Amino acid sequence: MAYEVSSGALYHRVTLEGREHLTVAGVEDVERFDESCIVMSTCAGVLVVTGEGLHIDKLSLDGGELHVDGRIDGLDYEDAPRQQGGLWRRLFA
């Protein structure tokens, strides 16, 4: 399954291979994560990934790409306004 959205200069793409490998392009920040939930800000809104044994395999905020491995149960976009200053911004600011 692939989902693509063009938003200005950033390009948002979601690619799910089976239920084990997820690639998201257009990632601006990772708000929080653990083995059951990853919340990220994308150029298309806040994306929440739920599942079991989730592991961020690769994160490139410069390129805006995130790779997740594990059992993926759901992908959901939140309509609520996103909070400023995610985890990576707080760690490396």
CATH at residue 78: 2.60.40.2000
pLDDT, mean of residues 7-36: 89
pLDDT-based confidence at residue 33 (cuts at 50, 70, 90): very high
pLDDT of residue 4: 54
Q: Could you tell me the residue range of the domain that residue 8 belongs to?
A: 2-92
Give the strands of the sheet with 10-17, arranged side by side: 2-7, 10-17, 21-25, 65-78, 45-60, 37-42, 27-33
pTM equals 0.75
Higher pLDDT, 23 or 11: 23
